[in-house]
Structure 1
Amino acid sequence: MKYINNLAVKMSISAAVTLIFANMLNLQFSTVAAVIAILSIQDTRRKALIVGKNRVAACILAIILSFLIYKIIGQNAITFAIFLLIFIPLTSKLNISEGMVPAVVLSTHLLIANPINLYWIINETLLMIIGIGIASIANLFMPSLQHKFNVDKEYIEDSYKVILSKMAKSLVTYTVDIDEEIIMNALEKRINESCERAYKIVNNSFFKSESYYTDYMNMRKNQFDIIKKLRTHFEKFYMSFEQTYMISSFTQKVANQIEEANDCEELLDELEILKNDFKKMSLPKTREEFENRAQLLQFLNDMEDLLNMKRSFILNYRKYNNQK
């Protein structure tokens, strides 16, 4: 069953089955139906539905337009150019450009048909129906990516925990682990791959408007951008204060609670208390202290953005579930 999910295998099987059906019906240019089937194989069900619909519309338009032009004006290179001048802009205007190439091929059959009659109209229509129809059936067989997505999600959350824990340590040691950059690069690559998987999962569903997978990955991707921003602050930290240790402890707490289910409400409340406590502390005595304290506050503000992003995702997801 896993092999049917392979695009190359689906294209091969679809082309062979299409060719068999077309030959059984004694259709002219039967190989064209196989080519249409190959072109109609897509990597998601929703995309396949859209492309298939557009190809049917474009092919029907091409057959009708070709019949009228070639029947009235004649069958030659000039009339074929006239057909293209009319047909190509129409496909663009009607947003059915995906079907332009196979539709033009069908038109060339009518261009050389002698004479153009109902037989040829039926022939071209059946080539279209069989090619797109067989491909549509094949497109129903898509791999389940949810398990891989769940593995990605666990990897991303674990990586965030590791990175934030390292930040908590670096705040008070002024050192950055050698492997942190390696972790960040691997994480960024995994996030991009998982975003593609999330898109495919959502677009493999006909009946659900569920966008949880893409919403979750967008949230994690935006958090990753904030984490990169948090890392830049360490270039300017070179003094420790009471606030430094408090923020370090809070950062470690965030790392420990990075999992998906946490709505961050308690963390955000604690962060607000932390900010209020900072306001009550003595003011910095030197310019260097002021700059470092300001950098710490900016670090905390960015951490707040990180948490708010997660909380917004959780609240929106809960609201969606309550409306279902």
Structure 2
Amino acid sequence: MKYIYNLAFKMSISATIALVIANLFNVQYATVAAVIAILSIQDTKKKALIVGRNRVVACIIAIFLSIGIFKILGQNPITFAIFLLIFIPLTSKFNIAEGMVPAVVLSTHLLIAGELNSYWIINELLITFIGVGIASIANLFMPSLRSEFNEDKEYIEKSYKIILYKMANSLVSYTVDIDEEIIMNELENRLTEAVNRAYKIASNNLLNTDSYYIDYMNMRKIQFDIIKKLRSHFEKFYMSFEQTFMISKFTKSVASQIKDTNDCLDLLEELEVLKEDFKQMALPKTREEFENRAQLLQFLNDMEDLLRIKRNFILNYSSENKRDKFTIKS
């Protein structure tokens, strides 16, 4: 049944049905209804609703504006130009540009028609409502994309674990894995796709205003930017200290606990203990030592940002009871 969600399939079926129905009503220029149906097929329900509404409004305005102008000034190229000079700015003003082209086509029907009467008004309205109406029904069939979202989430969390484990090892070895850059590039591309999918999921829920999918992916995207900052510190690490091994161990701890249900409270508490321990340690003896220790501290601060982003996300959905997809760990 997946073919029912395919845009090309929906376009072809909608156009065919629109043409058949238009012919059943003996509509003149029935093929235009088929074209409008094709143009009205969209990839999300909300977008389809907006485009369909704008197309209907634009077509209605065009029909009655055309009749008014053509009846008063006649049906000729000059009056058609006058119509366009008035109509096109109106579509921009009322933000209904999606309906401009089909509406202009309807206007050309009236331009070359004989006597302008109620028959032509009904004819053009039928073209509009049949085309948009059939497309609107087809647009109800949209893939949920929730399984793809879960796959994206699993991929992202797994990738974050791998990257952080690699960082933990790099802290004490001063080496960066060759494949780390490849993982980062693939992850960045997947995040972009995942964010787009999240917006599609939200746009397909007409009655549900829950923004969980978008918020989750945006949270992970912000974390990715922080991970890039964490990686940038390795350009300045060239000395090892006791703190280095402690931060490496903590980084592995963070990596092992990356999952959607983790509220990061334990990790943040562990991080605070780590900072307090650092304060009790001997001060650096040289400038190079001071610079490297300062860089380590900045690495730890960025790690704290990484954790707080996730904790704020969890607390937001917990406090507002927006979703029952996860339970905050105790």
TM-score (norm 2): 0.96
**Partner residue in 1 for 2:147:** 147
Check whether the contact 2:144–2:204 (CA below 8 A) recurs between aligned residues: no
Counterpart mapping for 1:51-130 below 5 A: 51-130=51-130
Matches of 1:57 and 1:92, distance apart in 2: 13
Match of 2:27 in 1: 27
| 1:283 to partner: Cα distance | 0.9
Give a deviation string over 1:168-210, Cα, whole Å, max 9, x none: 1111111111111111111111111111111111100110001
Distance of 1:320 and 1:12 partners within structure 2: 44
Structure 2 residue aligned with 1:44 = 44
Unaligned runs of 5+ in 1: none
1:1-324 maps to which residues of 2 (within 5 A)?
A: 1-321=1-321
Q: Within 1, Cα distance between the matches of 2:131 and 2:264?
A: 52
The answer on whether the counterparts of 2:19 and 2:34 sit within 8 Å (CA) in structure 1 is yes
Letter aligned with residue 154 of structure 2? E
Stretch deviating more after TM superposition (85-94 or 312-321): 312-321
Distance (Å, rounded) in 1 between the aligned partners of 2:124 and 2:16: 18
CA distance in 1, matches of 2:72, 2:280: 89
**2 CA distance for matches of 1:5 and 1:202?**
17
TM-superposition CA deviations, 1:85-110 (whole Å, max 9, x none): 11111111111111111011111111
Q: CA deviation at 1:323?
A: 9.4
Letter in 2 for 1:215: D
Equivalent position SS for 1:38: helix
Q: CA RMSD of the aligned region, Å?
A: 1.1
2:153, 2:99 → 1: CA distance?
37
Question: Contact (CA 8 Å) 2:199, 2:214: kept in 1 or not?
Answer: yes
Instruction: Provide the rounded CA distance (Å) in 2 between the counterparts of 1:84 and 1:278.
Output: 73
How many angstroms apart in 2 are the aligned matches of 1:323 and 1:42? 28
Structure 1 CA distance for aligned equivalents of residues 323 and 199 of structure 2:
23
In structure 1, C-alpha distance between the alignment counterparts of 2:319 and 2:132, rounded to whole Å? 40
- Confirm or deny: 8 A CA contact 2:263 2:311 kept in the other structure: yes
CA distance in structure 1 between the partners assigned to 2:280 and 2:70 by the alignment: 86
How far residue 269 of structure 1 moved from its aligned partner, in angstroms, is 1.5
Displaced runs of 4 or more, over 3 A: none
TM-score, normalised with respect to structure 1: 0.98
SS, match of residue 111 in structure 2: helix
> Amino acid of the residue matched to residue 35 of structure 1?
V
Higher deviation after alignment, 83-92 or 132-141: 83-92
Residue identity opposite 1:8 in structure 2: A
| Most deviating of 10-19 and 311-320 | 311-320
The 1:202/1:67 distance shift into structure 2, 3 A limit, reads same
Deviations 1:229-260 (A, max 9, x none): 11111111111111111111110110011101
- 1:278 CA drift (Å): 1.2
Identical-pair percentage: 74
Question: How much does 1:279 deviate?
Answer: 1.6
| Residues 41/219 of structure 1: CA separation in 2 closer, same or farther (3 Å cut) | same
Query: Post-superposition shift, 1:320?
Result: 2.9
Mapped to 1, the partners of 2:106 and 2:276 lie a distance apart of 73
Amino acid at match of 1:222: I
Q: Which amino acid aligns with 2:252?
A: Q
CA distance, structure 2, for counterparts of residue 323 and residue 242 of structure 1: 43
Which deviations, in whole Å up to 9, do the C-alpha atoms of 1:68-98 show, x marking residues without a partner? 1111111111111111111111111111111
Corresponding residue number in structure 1 for 2:327: none
Q: Using the alignment, how far apart are the partners of 1:250 and 1:124 within structure 2?
A: 69
Task: Tell me, in whole angstroms, the C-alpha distance in 2 between the residues paired with 1:206 and 1:257.
Answer: 35
Deviation at 1:322? 5.8
SS at match of 2:205: coil
